[in-house]
Chains A and B, each alone.
Chain A
Amino acid sequence: MPTLLDYRRRIRSVKSTQQITRAMKFISAAKLRRAQEGVFAARPYAGEILRVMRSAAARMESAAHPLLERRPEEKILVVVLTGDRSLCGAFNTNVIRRAILFIQENSSKKSQMIAIGKKGRDTLRKRGWAIAGEYLNVSAKVDFSIAKEIAGRIAELYAAGEVDAVYAVYNEFKNVMVQNLRTAKLLPIDPGMLDEKSEQKSGMPPTSHAGDESALPHDLSASGKAQLVDYIYEEPVEEIFGGLVPRYLEAEVFRILLESAAAEHAARMTAMDSATRNASDLIDSLTLDMNKIRQASITKELIEIVSGAASATS
């Protein structure tokens, strides 16, 4: 039977934990907002790159590029995006589970991976899989130079024939409550993307929820969509196109990094919110128990006094 003092201690400890989870929730909320802004800020650039790339492709006899080249898939590269820290619900676990499943499905192929985020790196390493690269502390502040570095590494492996396809497993930020687990093919780039007609279907994968799309401040693509202008090219068109394809990959990787970071903050915020609420419930029930014991001891003392007095007078 715990004493009154035990309860007091317990409540105090839960309260201090609650303060920590509440602080973490607010921090995540602030970071989430920044990450979300990043996702929106990256869209005009990615959209424009795609548009210029398409118009260049339309002008070429055949749009060939090492990153567009299709080969039978024998060796695959899986890019796994997790966070660096825990306390974010099932965020990391979900990605890792999906990645493992994906690799098992493709067990006939030789697979390598690139781990982004400490959590994924640790798990994958424990499993003893071939890791072609690791990038830690990315999600804290997603920087374009990191996206460039990762994209460069992927492109290098692909162009050298080390891998025949590159997939990314990541959490897509849908809204604060929902993160979508996605497996996306990064390379080879789908030639359908270069086709102006497929603009509706492809383009930037729909991260959209209608409200945010209209909030996008500068929609560059709307005005210049699907008009084939006869451009002068300062350099040969093939050269421009050759330069644009890696830029496009960089923009894609950057988008995925941003999405994953936003999803991580959202997941952590939700997890910390429910932790804070659980702590409140726990404090309530502990306080109730504590009061019951306090009451019981008072009642017991009263009975003792009353019965003592009764025996004295009789």
Chain B
Amino acid sequence: MLPESIELQIVTPERHVLQETVQSVEIPGKEGYLGILPGHAPLITELGIGILAYRKGTENHFVTVIHGYAEVLPDRVIVLAELSERAEEIDVERSRAAHDRAQAELAKAGVGGDQWQREKLALDRALVRMQAAARTGATAGGSHQ
């Protein structure tokens, strides 16, 4: 018998981000997005930087995920992210400011150095936050994309 829903958990070292019973999940894997439905074969993957989307009832929700691992079981998905935020928690203004700052710093820093890498990460982080916030706003009605 296939399970009808997935128990989704997202944890980071600093906090427990969410625990929800959902119908489907889309995970930002390192090598591309993975769609997970209930009854998926057990799987372990590394995560990239991206947006995790899940459907609960008719609503779509978005969560940013930055590096980490995901473990998929037929009835559970456990996401171990280094950093993760629900779209509702994101402060768009701050993300935009961080984005602009990172972009400016990135232009100044020499390519490949420590500084460059730090700024690149900051930029990616800000970008993914802004995207998540935008998608939440766009799909507030419920339909997916």
Seen from chain A, the residues whose Cβ lies within 8 Å of a Cβ on chain B are 38, 41-42, 44-46, 48-49, 52, 55-56, 143-144, 147-148, 217-218, 220, 224, 229-235, 239-240, 243-244, 247, 250-251, 254
Contact = CB atoms under 8 A, between A and B. Distances in A.
Interface stretch (B8-16, B100-108, B134-142): B8-16
A217 B12 CA distance: 14
B69 A234 contact: no
B69 A247 contact: yes
24 contacts: A41-B15, A41-B16, A44-B16, A45-B12, A46-B13, A48-B11, A48-B71, A48-B78, A52-B71, A55-B44, A144-B82, A147-B13, A148-B82, A218-B16, A218-B19, A220-B11, A231-B71, A233-B43, A235-B31, A235-B45, A239-B46, A240-B45, A243-B46, A247-B69
B123 to A, nearest CB: 16
Contact of A244 (B31, B43, B69, B73): B69
A133 B44 CA distance: 35
Contacts of A56: 44
A144 B13 CA distance: 7
Contacts of B76: 224
Interface string B53-72: 00000000000000011010
Nearest to B44: A231
A247 to B, nearest CB: 7
Contact of B42 (A217, A220, A229): A229
Interface of B: 9, 11-16, 19, 29-31, 34, 41-46, 68-69, 71, 73, 76, 78, 80, 82-83
Contacts of B45: 233-235, 240
B22 to A, nearest CB: 16
Contacts of B19: 218
Given A41-B16, A234-B29, A52 B9 contact: no
Contacts of B41: 232
A218 B20 CA distance: 12
Contact of A38 (B9, B14, B31, B34): B14
B80 A231 contact: no
Contacts of B11: 44-45, 48, 218, 220
A228 to B, nearest CB: 10
A48 B44 contact: no
Contacts of B31: 234-235
A38 B13 CA distance: 9
Given A44-B11, A144-B12, A220-B11, A232 B42 contact: yes
Given A144-B83, A218-B11, 11 more contacts: A41-B15, A42-B14, A44-B16, A144-B12, A147-B13, A232-B43, A235-B45, A240-B45, A244-B69, A247-B69, A254-B13
B13 A52 contact: no
Contacts of A243: 46, 69
